[in-house]
Amino acid sequence: MGTPDSISSVKDIEPQLVRLGLVCPDGHALVKMQTKDLEEALLTYFLGNDVDDAAVVRLYGPSRKESSKTFEVSVGLVEISRCFYPRSTHTGAVLSSAVCSQCLPVFYESQGLWDNGLGQRELFFEVEMWFDDGVLSRVEVSGLSREQKRVQMLKDGVGVLPDDDRLVKRRIKELLKENEST
């Protein structure tokens, strides 16, 4: 069991990701994933436009250190590294997991000591991507929408809270503020 690699997407390719079907059930582009199907070494890969054809989504990475400089600042030494991400030549399927950064979690009553009685369950999706020499050719996403997850949790006896609950409203405001800053 290795450690997962991460796959992120550059922001300007979200329309291509939507076109390819790399979306949650509510239609939001899935832009951050984790996988153990690549090198399993905590490496970072990116999905971005191909340099030669902007309509093509390509896998780049893992990063390779280009140069490194050390600067002295008032709090000590800081190493600044410049990395570049070469074109990946991966061919085959990559299974990964993703959380939609735009979908709100499902909120429920919790007995935890640190969560003020409010628990939240994120929406996880299984994503299978097929690459041909690094080019993303096909995508399959499986998982429940937020409403489907709420219904499932209610059937399982979890005390799901409505979005107009006072604590839920406050937490939604906090989450939206966090999303704006990222």
The model carries a pTM of 0.78
How do residues 143-164 score in pLDDT, each as one tens digit? Answer: 999 999 999 999 999 999 999 9
What whole-number distance in Å separates Cα of residue 151 and Cα of residue 25?
A: 15
Does the pLDDT of residue 178 top 50, yes or no?
yes
Task: Assign 111 a pLDDT band (cuts: 50, 70, 90).
Answer: confident
- Please compute Rg for the chain using Cα positions: 20
Total structural domains within the chain: 1
Judged on CB neighbours under 10 Å (0-12, 13-18, 19+), 131 is: buried
Mean pLDDT score, 47-60: 86
Does the pLDDT of residue 24 top 90, yes or no?
yes
Does the pLDDT of residue 58 top 60, yes or no?
yes
Sign of CA dihedral 5, 19, 60, 85: negative
Phi, psi dihedrals of residue 138, rounded to the nearest 5°: -155, 150
Mean pLDDT score, 18-38: 93
The mean of the pLDDT values for the chain is 84
Q: Which residues contact 58 (CB under 8 A, 6 or more apart)?
A: 47, 48, 49, 50, 87, 88, 134, 135, 136
Give me the domain span that covers residue 119.
Answer: 5-181
Q: What is the DSSP string of 17-62?
A: HHHHT-B-TTS-B--EEEESSS--BS-EEEEEE-SS-TTSEEEE--
Q: Say how far residue 59 (Cα) sits from the centre of its chain.
A: 15
Tell me if 7 sits within 8 A of 35, measured CB to CB. Answer: yes
Does the pLDDT of residue 110 top 50, yes or no?
yes
What whole-number distance in Å separates Cα of residue 98 and Cα of residue 96?
A: 7
Give the model's pLDDT for residue 76: 41
Mean pLDDT score, 36-44: 83
